[in-house]
Chains A and B, each alone.
Chain A
Amino acid sequence: DTAVSQTPKYLVTQMGNDKSIKCEQNLGHDTMYWYKQDSKKFLKIMFSYNNKELIINETVPNRFSPKSPDKAHLNLHINSLELGDSAVYFCASSQVSSFSGNTIYFGEGSWLTVV
Chain B
Amino acid sequence: AQSVAQPEDQVNVAEGNPLTVKCTYSVSGNPYLFWYVQYPNRGLQFLLKYITGDNLVKGSYGFEAEFNKSQTSFHLKKPSALVSDSALYFCAVRPPQTGANNLFFGTGTRLTVIP
Contacts and interface: CB of A to CB of B under 8 A. Distances in A.
Using C-beta atoms within 8 Å of the partner chain, give the interface range for chain A: 20 to 34
Instruction: Determine chain B's interface SS by DSSP, over half rule.
Output: loop
Contact of B44 (A31, A45, A90, A96): A90
Given A41-B107, A43-B90, A97 B99 contact: yes
B22 interface: no
A56 interface: yes
B100 A100 contact: yes
Interface in B60-115: 88, 90, 94-103, 105, 107-108
22 contacts: A41-B88, A41-B108, A42-B107, A43-B44, A43-B105, A43-B108, A45-B102, A50-B99, A50-B101, A55-B101, A56-B101, A90-B44, A97-B99, A100-B94, A100-B97, A100-B98, A100-B101, A101-B32, A105-B46, A106-B45, A106-B46, A107-B43
